[in-house]
Structure 1
Amino acid sequence: MLTMIVADDEPFIRKSLIHVFNWQEEFGIEIIGEASDGQEAYELCMERQPDILFTDIMMPMMGGLEVAEKLKAGNCRARIIIISGAQDFSYAQSALKMNAEGYILKPVKLPELREVFHEAVTRLRQEKDHQLNFEQLRKQVQSNMPLLREKFLQNWLAGLYRDEGELWDKIGYFQLPFKRGDVLTAGVLQLDDYQSAIDKFSEEYRQLLYFSIQNMITECLEKPPGGISFVASENEFIVIFCPDQAAAPGTGAISSLCEEIIGSIKKYLRLDASIGIGRACSSASELEDSYKEALAALVHTFYTGHGSILYIKDIQPGTAALQSTFFYKFQARLMNELKAGHTQQVLELLEKLFDRLAAPKLQIDYVQSICAEIIFTSARALYELDEDIEQVLEDRLTIMDTLYRQKNISGLKTCMLSLFYNLSTHVAGKNTSKNSKTINRIRAIVQEGYARELSIARIAEEVFLTPNYISLIFKKETGETLTDYITKIRIGKAKELLHTTDLKIMEISERVGYENPHYFSTVFKKNVGVHPLKYRSGK
């Protein structure tokens, strides 16, 4: 229902206007007051705030146009419909300037009056509906303000706003605690080993967990330097610090805040978290870069471990690589020890490798690719010796997935040590029976062929293995080198010939595989302690 006040200094005309229509039935208007002069009309309108003031233009104390002007100045919402007995066009012009809804000349004609009011009521109802819709929308916006604010923050850090003026208008609208001239810094908090940390929780508990973390961050940010935070995703809590205190990491206000946040999460939720911090930026539109730097800094928890606070400006870009000579020598040694089943030596080599990998802060994907190459090179080499090696090794995709799921270098190291321990012990078990046969075959070859030229390379050809490999397994199984064993057999045969025959030293030397008698005598004395002739005479 619309409301109206009627103003006219002549009582008869005023009453006539009040009763000329059934205002409620025809127009939906309720008359809530009447005034006999301009001053009374003004005061009544300011008090009752009607939708319409139906007034004569000429009245004592204050004319209708003056009333309209004062009501406009007083922000009264009443719309003015004027009745005038004056034909002067200047009055109509003044009424138009006052945004009067209608201007009716006396004597009043009912069809004209009805048309003016129908048009005025239609406009008022449309405006009221629009106002009502606007108010409803405004309330909806207010009720959804937290979501809208968070969406703005996400868009801000995504770099959707490049116009500094527009950005600060939005910062003001969302009542963020920043002002022009502030130096802003972005930080990102993530839970360490996130997947394993939350796997044991139900979805409901996870949501409570995120809410708790956000509350802890917000509480800590109430202290200087302060700032705001919001959740970008399940494991990405973004913090915007203000002002810039990042210049002194470890002692600055931002570092202290981060330590408090990480400490609270550890204390109350028993979870580890790390925070990456980008560079400070003097322009609000540059905050996207600071955010991306914070994410990049967090990647280096691969080296620093859990509960780290990482400033991007303290992290040097990793461009180093392992020296090729070191890597190839390492692989050669690893293959030899692995084929021999020397588990302890294999693990020691891997420990030394990871000391190298961690020291220069290499690119993480480079470290992972190094490990992958070592695994697959080893697998190929072992497969040539033992097709059953597939019982120990998983398929290629599973191995790669396991490697790239490791979130820190200690986890990657543990993964590699475990895998190569299994490989080495498997080979060692296989070698126990296989090596015994090989050793017996080598011994037979030596005992049968000691009198002729006999080298480790030649023996290796006869057993279809490499010289290095047979040397390794012979030493492992017998405790002596293959060279020492060949010498022992030859010297043993020489002692037998010296004791049982009258052959000359030169002849005995040839019979036990030494072409040079002098060299034979030297080797004999070294192993027996006396010259061959003294050994013979002593018997």
Structure 2
Amino acid sequence: MYKMILVDDSERVRNGLKMSMDWSKHQIEIVGEAEDGVEAMELIMDQKPDLIISDVLMPHMNGLELTEKALCIVPHAKVILLSGYDNFPYVQTAIRNGAFDYLLKPSTIEELFAIIEKAKQSLEQERSQVKDVVQLRQQLLHSIPVLKERYLRYLLSGQMSLLDIRNRCDYLDLSIGSHLFACLVVEIDDEDAVAQSARIRDKQLLLFAFRNIVEELLREQLYAEIVENYDNQLIVIVSRAEPMESKYYLELLQAIARKIKYYIQTYYKVSVSIGIGGIYDEPEWIPESSKQAVEAVQYRLYSGKESIVYIGDVTYQASVEHTVYPYDLEKRLCLALKIGDVHGAVGYARQFLRAIVDDFTPTPDHLRKICLQLVYALLRQLIEWDLSDGNIMEITALDEQIKKRKTIEQLEMWLLHYVNDLAHSIEKKMQQRHVSIVQKAISFMESQYAQDISLQDVADVVYLTPNYFANLFKERTNETVLNFLADIRINKAKQLLKQSDLKIFDISSQVGYTDAKYFGQVFRKRVGVTPLEYRKMQPN
């Protein structure tokens, strides 16, 4: 509905306008009437009308003054003036001062209504424009956090000039001061533990909760902006409005870091570590401080969980060139895996990691790469031994698995667990392979027992050396290869003795013995009687 007031010193005119039509059918409500401009102004201040129909000549305040003053209070209102020919110069001035339109007396109600309809259309258009502006403002307000996030990530990329930084900080109303710029990085120590025991197990919600704690602790002491990077770390950009000695500023940052760590542990039962980058005088050094903070928090690998590490306290670590890869331990580990020595394999893996850490103390990133190199070496051996199966499918995820281990203890536990599982998997596959080898050898002996075959012949069939095959066969069957072959031959001879009238010499030849006398000795030794006696014992 549109609110309208009528202003005229003639009650007859006002009543005539009111009674001329059913205004409500046209979405218009007459909210008041006045007989002069002064009375009308009180009504305007009270009702804030959309439409004002006013005479020009009235006592105390004419329509011209009323138009000017009314539009100061309700600038959106549409003023329609009713004027005689003698007053037309007044109307022209009023139009220039903002009146919407005029109507010369005498006129019909249809003419007045046509002007009112135009005024309504203008009001509707303006309302729509205002609505669009409000929506745009709301969209801008909603998008500002996203714009801030994008800008902060762009800032941390190091691709912005000092002027760009200043301009965008003002535009986005960022909390970045003018002195002592530094970055802190907050990172969860054990993501797997979070999934099991934290009060909030959704990582994104948890980081949002951390952000609230950090903002609360920093609000009264420092300017701070927080952004989450792509490694699920919170990067906190801090600065001050006033100068301060760097050493005292560092102490302040370390004290705040301790509080952040304490409150996160207390409220959310999550262990975090915090890295602190270098402190600089200009904001263009923020990207460098951020990189340093990310690097600093990695040294929790050596200092353990719940660490606060300042980049200035990180001592020189061995470079890639100065780290000697322990190939001898890698070979021993591979051999232990090959022979199924699970305990030995795990022990060599532990020695491997300790040799690197104790002798060279490489950077956390390089240590993880060395562990990845070892795992790749083990997987290459599996391929060579034709034992890879599904293990190779895991290779793309190994790097991520290793990166998730934030301390030496976590890294060692993961490596030993991985080697242990690998060793058991290899042991199981080797057992299956050995069973297959023995079965193949037995099948060969059962089909070729009539031939003059030796241990070498059977070993050749399964592509093993005679000694290795003999030991494997004895381990799996509790029999030597030759004894097992003799059993096959004697059992076949017993069948022939039962089921045929063949001579002993012929039977001996058919079961692989060229010397009938030797066949008789072997038969007697295994059966307890001679071949002839055995035949006589059978029922007719």
On whether the aligned pair clears a TM of 0.5, the verdict is: yes
* TM-score after normalising by structure 1: 0.60
Given that 2:186 and 2:275 are in contact with CA atoms closer than 8 Å, whether structure 1 keeps it comes out as: yes
The residue matched to 1:59 in structure 2 has which SS? coil
Q: Distance in 2 between matches of 1:336 and 1:232?
A: 41
The residue matched to 2:240 in structure 1 has which SS? coil
Who is 2:42 aligned against? 43
Task: Determine which of 222, 225, 230 is the counterpart of 1:225.
Answer: 222
The residue matched to 1:55 in structure 2 has which SS? strand
Who is 2:536 aligned against? none
Who is 1:476 aligned against? none
Counterparts in 2 of 1:280 and 1:14: CA distance versus 1, 3 Å: farther
Work out the number of aligned pairs and report it: 410
Counterparts in 2 of 1:158 and 1:49: CA distance versus 1, 3 Å: same
Who is 1:194 aligned against? 191
Who is 1:4 aligned against? 4
The residue matched to 1:168 in structure 2 has which SS? helix
1:32 aligns to 2:31 (yes or no)? yes
Given that 1:185 and 1:280 are in contact with CA atoms closer than 8 Å, whether structure 2 keeps it comes out as: yes
Map 1:160-199; keep pairs closer than 5 Å.
Answer: 162=164, 164-171=166-173, 178=175, 181=178, 185-199=182-196
* TM-score after normalising by structure 2: 0.60
Deviates more, 1:117-126 or 1:249-258: 249-258
The residue matched to 1:73 in structure 2 has which SS? helix
Q: Distance in 2 between matches of 1:316 and 1:23?
A: 89
Q: For structure 2, list consecutive stretches of 5 or more residues without a partner in the other structure.
A: 431-540
Q: For structure 1, list consecutive stretches of 5 or more residues without a partner in the other structure.
A: 431-539
Given that 1:186 and 1:291 are in contact with CA atoms closer than 8 Å, whether structure 2 keeps it comes out as: yes
Q: Distance in 2 between matches of 1:265 and 1:15?
A: 73
Counterparts in 2 of 1:2 and 1:338: CA distance versus 1, 3 Å: closer
1:243 aligns to 2:240 (yes or no)? yes
Who is 1:216 aligned against? 213
The structural deviation recorded for 1:407 is 3.1
Map 1:302-451; keep pairs closer than 5 Å.
Answer: 302-312=301-311, 320-323=319-322, 326-327=324-325, 330-332=326-328, 335=331, 351-358=354-361, 361-362=362-363, 364=365, 366-374=366-374, 397-398=394-395, 400-401=398-399, 403-415=402-414
Counterparts in 2 of 1:369 and 1:182: CA distance versus 1, 3 Å: closer
Deviates more, 1:208-217 or 1:93-102: 208-217
Counterparts in 2 of 1:424 and 1:274: CA distance versus 1, 3 Å: same
The structural deviation recorded for 1:109 is 4.0
Given that 2:183 and 2:237 are in contact with CA atoms closer than 8 Å, whether structure 1 keeps it comes out as: yes
Partner letter of residue 99 of structure 2?
A: A
Counterparts in 2 of 1:279 and 1:57: CA distance versus 1, 3 Å: farther
Partner letter of residue 406 of structure 1?
A: R
The structural deviation recorded for 1:120 is 0.8
Q: Distance in 2 between matches of 1:337 and 1:135?
A: 69
Q: Distance in 2 between matches of 1:18 and 1:307?
A: 79
Q: Distance in 1 between matches of 2:348 and 2:54?
A: 107
The structural deviation recorded for 1:153 is 3.1
Given that 2:176 and 2:238 are in contact with CA atoms closer than 8 Å, whether structure 1 keeps it comes out as: no
Q: Distance in 1 between matches of 2:284 and 2:67?
A: 48
Who is 2:273 aligned against? 274
The structural deviation recorded for 1:345 is 8.6
Q: Distance in 1 between matches of 2:383 and 2:105?
A: 112
Given that 1:182 and 1:242 are in contact with CA atoms closer than 8 Å, whether structure 2 keeps it comes out as: yes
Given that 2:153 and 2:227 are in contact with CA atoms closer than 8 Å, whether structure 1 keeps it comes out as: no
Q: Distance in 2 between matches of 1:121 and 1:383?
A: 83
Q: Residue deviations 1:34-92, cap 9 Å, x none?
A: 22222222222122221111112222222212111122334554321112224677534
Map 1:12-27; keep pairs closer than 5 Å.
Answer: 12-19=12-19, 21-25=20-24, 27=26
Given that 1:27 and 1:121 are in contact with CA atoms closer than 8 Å, whether structure 2 keeps it comes out as: no
Counterparts in 2 of 1:347 and 1:250: CA distance versus 1, 3 Å: farther
Given that 2:55 and 2:83 are in contact with CA atoms closer than 8 Å, whether structure 1 keeps it comes out as: yes
Q: Residue deviations 1:353-401, cap 9 Å, x none?
A: 322342xx4361x3334344456667879999xx69x69x965945945
Given that 1:322 and 1:357 are in contact with CA atoms closer than 8 Å, whether structure 2 keeps it comes out as: no
Counterparts in 2 of 1:368 and 1:236: CA distance versus 1, 3 Å: closer
The structural deviation recorded for 1:209 is 4.7
Q: CA RMSD in A?
A: 4.9
